[in-house]
Structure 1
Amino acid sequence: MRGLFRFFRKPETVAGTLILAVLAVMALASPLLFPGDPQAIAGPALLPPFQDWSLPLGTDRLGRDVLAELFYGARTSLAVGLAAAAAALALGAVIGTLAGFAGGIADDALMRLTDAFQTVPGFLLALAFVSVVGPSLMVVVIAIALSAWTGPARVARAEVLSIRERDYVAAARVAGMHPLEIAFREVLPNALPPVLALSSIIVAGAVLTEAALSFLGLGDPNRVTWGGMIAEGRAVLRSAPYLSIIPGIALVSTVLGVYLAGEGIVETTAVRRGLS
């Protein structure tokens, strides 16, 4: 209860949590509130918001319901952000643990691989990967994960280097445990908290990267995305600016909510570790 009180003590943390809660409800409720294809024609083209209460946010150039697309876009953004963050954290934690625990040539080789990935801007790497393999939701997740795993890898390696010489690790060696078992069963769990602290940054970056790829036409064509909605509204920006403004606000709110809630989690975890 004390940890929960600390988490909700700051108003910005409460705001971030509420934003994420609203987005989660939108993502989960989208098939119930808007059954069928969200990209199907629902009314006359370019209907302004609040003109027809059956289409409260109006329609786009093809007559599709903007509100339905907004809800399904939340589903896509959260799915990509969470999946890409999980993949990047898992890959980075494994590589960082292997590098830090093995040391020597293995450490040098894995860190040089990390340097090679880190020298390429993350968005350019994701852009090149999706362009070569082809746009789909899974490809976008893999592309974002490949561009985001280096940070967790470096943090995991630094933590493992400080943990591997502790007494309980030495005791595990004396007990005859396999080095990989020691690394992933004894060392990695204790090195994870600082790595997980990067999750909010990775999720926010993944949401922005997915939106940018969709804006450029490299998102999954079978799914509604906020980046695709912004790109769709670009052609009629002067006559119907709401087509770009509405998904743009949703995108900014998501990134802000993830960042604020993530900061609250990091601060709460840091306080608990300091007290323990």
Structure 2
Amino acid sequence: MNVFKRLLRSPAGAAGLALLALLALAALCAPLLFPGDPLAIAGPPLTPPFTDPAFPLGTDRLGRNVLAGLFHGAQASLAVGLAAAAVSIVAGALVGTVAGFAGGLVDEALMRVVDAFQTVPGFLLALAFVSVAGASLAVVILAIALGAWTGPARLARAEVLSIRERDYVAAARIIGMHPAEIALREVLPNALPPVLALAAVIVGNAVLIESALSFLGLGDPNIVTWGSMISEGRNVLRSAPFLSIVPGIGLVVTVLGVYLLAEELADALATRKARP
């Protein structure tokens, strides 16, 4: 609660929260405001923005409503970002906890796996995985998570290394708790808060990677994404630049909000941890 109050008092934190709240509102309202298929032809092609009340942001080359695509694209970005962050945090926290708590050869082996994944840039790993496994929303989420779980794993391991020697962990060993139970019930919950602070950064990176994959034609073809909208607009960039500018603004606003919130959240958690 104190962390949330600090975010609201900070201009950057409040701005980040406001931008992400706007994104969440657009995603939630997309099925209500635009209940039809956003990929369906809705009007004449290449209608300029603010010339037809039925299409405030115009239409694309096929006559699809740009505003409907923008709202449904927010839904896709939010879904991919949150899902990829959840998978990365869960996988990374579990691997980091096992490595830090077990120590020895287990720690060494798991950290070498983490090193191997970290040598490959996240986007290239996602690009290769999607190219092999095929383009679908679930595959894109898994592909992004494959490159993002190493950060939470390293941070969780560092936290566990400091927690495992504390008195309550020693007391749990004395009363005969199983090591796995100690790791999951006593150690992991106390190591999670710093790891969760990475979620905002992972969401921002996931949104950018998903948009880049969609721009290259490797996103899910059955849903509207901002990356696919930008890709569609590049073919008529000179005559209808709004087709790329509108979803591009959506991407900028989303990533800016995520990083503003992430920076303030990290500062708030660091201050809280530093208090005696």
Q: Scaled by the length of structure 1, what TM-score is found?
A: 0.97
Indicate whether 1:96 and 2:96 are aligned.
yes
Cα offset, 1:92, TM superposition? 0.4
- Preserved contact between residue 3 and residue 265 of structure 2 (Cα < 8 Å): no
Distance in 1, matches of 2:218 and 2:193, equals 34
Cα offset, 1:197, TM superposition? 1.3
Once the two structures are superposed, what CA deviation does each residue of 1:194-247 show, in whole Å capped at 9, x if it has no partner?
111111111100000000000000101110000000000000000000000110
Once the two structures are superposed, what CA deviation does each residue of 1:157-196 show, in whole Å capped at 9, x if it has no partner?
1111111111111110111101010011101111111111
Once the two structures are superposed, what CA deviation does each residue of 1:234-274 show, in whole Å capped at 9, x if it has no partner?
00000000000110010011000011122222222333333
Distance in 2, matches of 1:160 and 1:35, equals 47
Distance in 2, matches of 1:221 and 1:61, equals 17
2:10 maps to 10
1:234 maps to 234
Q: Matches of residues 64-213 of structure 1 in structure 2 within 5 Å? A: 64-213=64-213
Distance in 1, matches of 2:245 and 2:58, equals 13
Cα offset, 1:5, TM superposition? 3.2
Change (3 A) 1:202 1:3: closer
Cα offset, 1:107, TM superposition? 0.6
Change (3 A) 1:201 1:134: same
Letter in 1 for 2:166: R
1:32 maps to 32
Change (3 A) 1:176 1:108: same
1:49 maps to 49
Cα offset, 1:122, TM superposition? 0.7
Cα offset, 1:7, TM superposition? 1.6
2:217 maps to 217
Letter in 1 for 2:181: E
Listed as ranges, the gaps of 5+ residues in structure 2 are: none
Letter in 1 for 2:238: R
Cα offset, 1:143, TM superposition? 0.5
Distance in 1, matches of 2:185 and 2:124, equals 36
Cα offset, 1:3, TM superposition? 4.2
Indicate whether 1:267 and 2:267 are aligned.
yes
Cα offset, 1:113, TM superposition? 0.5
Once the two structures are superposed, what CA deviation does each residue of 1:68-104 show, in whole Å capped at 9, x if it has no partner?
0000000000000000001001100000000010011
Query: Among the aligned pairs, what percent are the same residue?
Result: 70
Distance in 2, matches of 1:131 and 1:2, equals 44
**Helix, strand or coil for the counterpart of 1:60?**
coil
Letter in 2 for 1:247: P
Distance in 2, matches of 1:6 and 1:221, equals 41
Q: CA RMSD in A?
A: 1.1
Distance in 1, matches of 2:242 and 2:32, equals 25
**Helix, strand or coil for the counterpart of 2:20?**
helix
**Helix, strand or coil for the counterpart of 1:105?**
helix
Distance in 2, matches of 1:147 and 1:44, equals 42
Change (3 A) 1:3 1:99: closer
Once the two structures are superposed, what CA deviation does each residue of 1:118-177 show, in whole Å capped at 9, x if it has no partner?
111111100011010100000000000011000110011111111111111111011110
Distance in 2, matches of 1:170 and 1:2, equals 30
Listed as ranges, the gaps of 5+ residues in structure 1 are: none
Cα offset, 1:2, TM superposition? 4.9
2:61 maps to 61
- Equivalent pairs counted in the alignment come to 276
Distance in 1, matches of 2:7 and 2:215, equals 35
Distance in 2, matches of 1:149 and 1:118, equals 9
Letter in 2 for 1:12: A
